[in-house]
Structure 1
Amino acid sequence: MRSDPRVLVLDGDYPASLTIAKELSEDVGATVVGAGTSRHSRLLRSRYCDVAVAIPATDDPRYFEAVRAVIETHRPDLVLPVGYGSAAALESGRDDLPAFVSTCLPEPDAFETAADKRATAELARTLGIDVPRDHSALVATLDSEGREPGALDVLEFPLFCKARREAGGGGETTARIVDPGRFWEVYDRLAAASPTGEVLVQESIDGSGATDGCGLFCLDGEVELRMAHEELRSVPRRGGSGTHLRLRRDPAVESAATELLRSLDWRGVALVEFKRREDGELVLMEINPKFWASYALASTHGYRFASRLVARTLGLEDRLPDRSPEPTGEMTFPLRELYYYARNRDEERLLDCLGAIVKPGVPWNVDRSDLGAWLTPPAAVLERLPTSAAEPDGALDREAVAFTRR
C-alpha cells in the first residue's frame, strides 16, 4: 500500500461526505477520491477532494459497474460508502470487487436484518429490548377490505408509519399521523416511496419528543468506538434527520445498541435509534446501517468513526491522532432546516425554524474553510434549473477532474 492511503468516498451529494473527507485528510493523510452524481455534487467541489468523479445515482442499474470502473482506474486502498444505497450496492456486489481494494462492511445477513425494520424489531424482542406495538397486519386487512368508513376506529392515534426497508436517498419515508382522516393519504404516499411498497404501522412513542441515538464502529461484533447523542429536532419532524443535536451519555442506550450489534457480529459503522415512553422506558426505533446524516456532531467532537474505520481496516492505527473525544457538545444543522422550510412553507413557520438553529454558543454544521462546497445547493435542485440541466449521458463517463489540496 502507498505511504498515504487512497480512499474512495461515495455519496458525494450528501453533506456528511464533506465531513468525512476532511476527517480522513486531517487524521490519516488520505488522498480522497470523491464520487458524486454530477459536477454539482458537494464533495466534488470540496478542497478536501483530491480526485473528483461523476457516476450514476445509486438507483441507476449502471451504478455498481461505475463504482467498479472508478476503482479500477484510481485504485483506492479502501472504498467507503456514506449512504444506504451505496452500502447496499457494495454488499450485493462485494464478491465482484477487485481484490486489491478493501471494504469494512457487515456480513450480508447482518446487513439485511438491519435494513429490514421488521426483522430488526423481531431480533430486538428476542434480546428483551422493547419495540413499538405493531398494527401493520391489521391495517393491511383493512386495506384489503376496501378501507371502509370508520374502519380505523379500532386504532389509537397518533400512529407512526415508516417504510419497512431502509430507502436512502434523503426521501421522506416516515410520518407521524395524528388525524385519522389523513391516514390513507399518507399511507399511500409512504407506500409509493417504500422500496418494497410495504409500510409498517406502529404506535407513536411520544414520551420526551427527542430521539436517542448511539453511533458505533464495530469489528467482528466488538465495539471499537461509540458515542451517544440526543436528537432534539429533526426534518421531517418526529422521525427524520436531525437539525439540532447534543452529545449525551446514556448507559441504557449504549448498552442496548451494543447488544444489538454484537448479536449481529457487526462490522463497520451503524446508528441505533431509540425513543422513550412517558414512563422513561426505552424503545428501539431502528438500526441505520450506514453513516448518519448528523455525523458532523460526532466528528467535530472527536468521535472520528471514519478515520478509525480506515486506519483499523488498513493497519494504519499509528496514524490516528492521540486525543480523547469530548464528553459534551451541541450542534445545529441550518442548511438542512432551511431547506426543509423552503419545501414545506405551508406547514412551517420561518421564525420557528430560525429559532431552532440560531442558539447562543451552539455551532453550525458549516465548515467556513470549505464554503464553496458547503453552500452549494443540493445537486438535485441545481439540475432542475435551466442553466444547470441534468448532464448528458456522456458526462457520466468523463475523465476525473483533479484538485490540488496540499
Structure 2
Amino acid sequence: MHAVPPTVLLLDGDYDNALAIATELSEDLEATVVGVGTSPHSRLLRSTYCDAGRVLPPPDDPDYPTALLETIERDRPDVVLPVGYDSMAAVQTIRESIPGDVALCLPSRDAFRAAADKEETLRRGQRLGLETPMEYSDVVANLEADGRATPDGVLPFPLFLKARWENGGVTTAPVDDPGEFWKTYDRIASVAPDGEVLVQEYVDGSGSTHACGLLCVDGEVALTMTHEELRSVPRHGGSGTHLRLEPDAAVATAARRLLEEVGWHGVALVEFKRRTDGTPVLMEINPKFWASYALASEFGYRFASTLVADRLDLGHELPVGSPEPRGEMVFPLRELQFAATNRDRETLRESLSTLLSPGASWDLEPTDLGAWLTPPASLLEQLPGTSVPRSSAEQAEKRLPNPTRSRR
C-alpha cells in the first residue's frame, strides 16, 4: 500500500479536461500534480491545482517520447497519466523503458490498436451482434478506380466520412451533396493517418451522440457512466459543449461488451448514434480521457482518482466518488470560441441559448480562473515572445501551493 499522497505526472496540460483531472486528483487523493504542457503558458501549468510544471514538445512531435521518458526518469512520479490520444500512443512506445516503480494503466498494444482502428472496432462490434453503420468504402474504392465517377445515384446521401485511424483530432465530415463528395473526401484523406477514409451512412435519428465512459482494471469494468451529447463543436460531431448525464442501459451494456471483447485496460469512451427507432449504432471507441470528461468528474464519476487509487493501492474505497444518476453541463469557453471563429455560420444568440440552459453546470472553476481563461496554446504560440520549446532541454518548472477549494 502506498503510504503517502501520490505524485502524478499528468500529461496534456494544454487541454482543458486536464484541469478537471488535476482538480479531481488534488481533492480526492491530495495528490502532488506534476503537469506537462507545451509551453509555460499551458493551462494546466497555470493552475493552482498543479504543483510543478514541465514543458515538453507537443505529443505528436517525434522528440516527445524521448523527452517524456527523460522527464519520467528524472522526476520518478508514482504514476503517469496520459489524457490525450497522442500522449497515450507515445507512452505505448516507451512503456518497456519506463522504470518499474512508476505505475501505468494502459491497454495492451493489440487492444490499443484495435480501438484506434475504427474499421476494426466496427468489426468487433459486428461479431458481438451490435448495430453498426452501413459501409460504402468499397463502393467508393470502385468509383475511384473508375476515374472518380460521380457518386450521384450510386451512393445513398447523406453520408458520413471519417479517418479510419484515430489521430487525436476531429477528422470527420457529413456530406449531403454528391457534387461535394470528392472534395470532402480529399480533405479528410489529407489529414487522415495513411490517407484512409471510411465512408458510412449518416445516422441521424436523434441528432445526439450517446456515449459510455468506462474504466477497466485487470479485465473487469470498475466504473461506468453514460451521457448524451446535445451540442458539440464542430456541430456534426466533435467536442461536446452541452451534455446531459443520465442512465442508458442499452448503451452501457453494448459498451461494456465491446471493451471486454477488445480486452481493454484503462479509461475509454464508447460512442453511439441512435436510429429513429431508438436502436444504438456503434460509432467508435475514444481510447483516452474524453474532451467532456468534466461532466463525469463534476457529478461524482471520478475515473482518474479511481484509476490512480487502484494502481497505487492507496486504501481508498473504490470507485472513488459519489456518482449522481443525472446532471447537465455546458462548456462556455469552448462554445464561445467556436462561435467567435465561425461567425459566418453561427450566431451569438444560439451560443448564449446553450450557455443559459436551465439547471446546467458550467465547466469553469472560479477559484482557478488564471488557468481557465488562458487562451489555447495553439493561439499563444503565434504571439511574439511565447514560442513553444521543441526539445527536452528547454524545460520550465513552477511550484504552487496545493488547492483548498472544490469545484463543487
Matched, 1:116 2:117: yes
Matched, 1:161 2:158: no
Letter in 1 for 2:254: A
Whole-angstrom distance in 2 between the partners of 1:74 and 1:301: 32
Instruction: Return 326-335 or 177-186, whichever deviates more.
Output: 177-186
Secondary structure, in 3 states, of the residue corresponding to 2:199?
A: strand
Letter in 2 for 1:157: F
Matched, 1:361 2:359: yes
Structure 1 contact 221–263 (Cα < 8 Å) conserved: no
Instruction: Return 97-106 or 289-298, whichever deviates more.
Output: 97-106
Whole-angstrom distance in 2 between the partners of 1:317 and 1:118: 40
C-alpha change, 1:402 and 1:44, in structure 2 (3 Å) is: same
Q: What is the aligned partner in structure 1 of residue 247 from structure 2? A: 249
Once the 2 structures are TM-superposed, how far is the Cα of residue 323 of structure 1 from its aligned partner?
4.9
Identity %: 57
Whole-angstrom distance in 2 between the partners of 1:90 and 1:402: 25
Secondary structure, in 3 states, of the residue corresponding to 2:92?
A: helix
Q: Show the 5 A alignment for 1:193-272.
A: 193-272=191-270
Q: Please list every run of at least 4 consecutive aligned residues from structure 1 whose deviation after the TM superposition is greater than 3 angstroms.
A: 319-323, 391-396
Q: Show the 5 A alignment for 1:288-307.
A: 288-307=286-305
Letter in 2 for 1:239: G
Q: What is the aligned partner in structure 1 of residue 151 from structure 2? A: 151
Letter in 1 for 2:30: G
Once the 2 structures are TM-superposed, how far is the Cα of residue 312 of structure 1 from its aligned partner?
0.4
C-alpha change, 1:393 and 1:271, in structure 2 (3 Å) is: closer
Structure 2 contact 212–270 (Cα < 8 Å) conserved: yes
Whole-angstrom distance in 1 between the partners of 2:394 and 2:178: 49
- Which ranges of structure 1 fall in alignment gaps of 5 or more residues? none
Letter in 2 for 1:31: T
Letter in 2 for 1:159: L
Secondary structure, in 3 states, of the residue corresponding to 2:193?
A: coil
Letter in 1 for 2:161: C
C-alpha change, 1:22 and 1:202, in structure 2 (3 Å) is: same
C-alpha change, 1:32 and 1:7, in structure 2 (3 Å) is: same
Structure 1 contact 234–241 (Cα < 8 Å) conserved: yes
Q: Deviations over 1:13-48 (max 9, x none)?
A: 000100000100010111000000111110000000
Q: What is the aligned partner in structure 2 of residue 403 from structure 1? A: 400
C-alpha change, 1:203 and 1:393, in structure 2 (3 Å) is: closer
Q: What is the aligned partner in structure 1 of residue 406 from structure 2? A: none
Q: What is the aligned partner in structure 2 of residue 173 from structure 1? A: 171
- Which ranges of structure 2 fall in alignment gaps of 5 or more residues? 404-408
Structure 2 contact 63–391 (Cα < 8 Å) conserved: no
Q: What is the aligned partner in structure 2 of residue 63 from structure 1? A: 64
Letter in 2 for 1:65: T
Whole-angstrom distance in 2 between the partners of 1:173 and 1:287: 14
Once the 2 structures are TM-superposed, how far is the Cα of residue 251 of structure 1 from its aligned partner?
0.7
Q: What is the aligned partner in structure 1 of residue 95 from structure 2? A: 94
Q: Deviations over 1:94-147 (max 9, x none)?
A: 111122211001111111100000000000000000100011121122123222
Which of the pair has the greater relative contact order for Cα pairs under 8 Å at 6+ separation? 2
Q: What is the aligned partner in structure 1 of residue 376 from structure 2? A: 378
Letter in 1 for 2:399: A
Q: Of residues 273, 279, 282 in structure 2, which corresponds to 1:281?
A: 279
Q: Deviations over 1:179-210 (max 9, x none)?
A: 22222221111111112211111000011001
Whole-angstrom distance in 2 between the partners of 1:400 and 1:157: 53
C-alpha change, 1:320 and 1:29, in structure 2 (3 Å) is: farther
Letter in 2 for 1:284: L
Q: So what's the TM-score if we normalise by structure 1?
A: 0.95
Whole-angstrom distance in 2 between the partners of 1:283 and 1:94: 34
Structure 1 contact 302–326 (Cα < 8 Å) conserved: yes
Secondary structure, in 3 states, of the residue corresponding to 1:95?
A: helix
Q: What is the aligned partner in structure 2 of residue 21 from structure 1? A: 22
Q: So what's the TM-score if we normalise by structure 2?
A: 0.95
Structure 1 contact 38–396 (Cα < 8 Å) conserved: no
C-alpha change, 1:37 and 1:155, in structure 2 (3 Å) is: same
Q: Deviations over 1:128-181 (max 9, x none)?
A: 001000111211221232223x3342011111111101111xx33011111222
C-alpha change, 1:322 and 1:390, in structure 2 (3 Å) is: closer
Matched, 1:38 2:39: yes
Structure 2 contact 5–32 (Cα < 8 Å) conserved: yes
Q: What is the aligned partner in structure 1 of residue 107 from structure 2? A: 106
Letter in 2 for 1:82: V
Q: Deviations over 1:305-349 (max 9, x none)?
A: 000000001101327797521111000011111111222222222
Whole-angstrom distance in 1 between the partners of 2:151 and 2:236: 26
Whole-angstrom distance in 2 between the partners of 1:250 and 1:104: 26
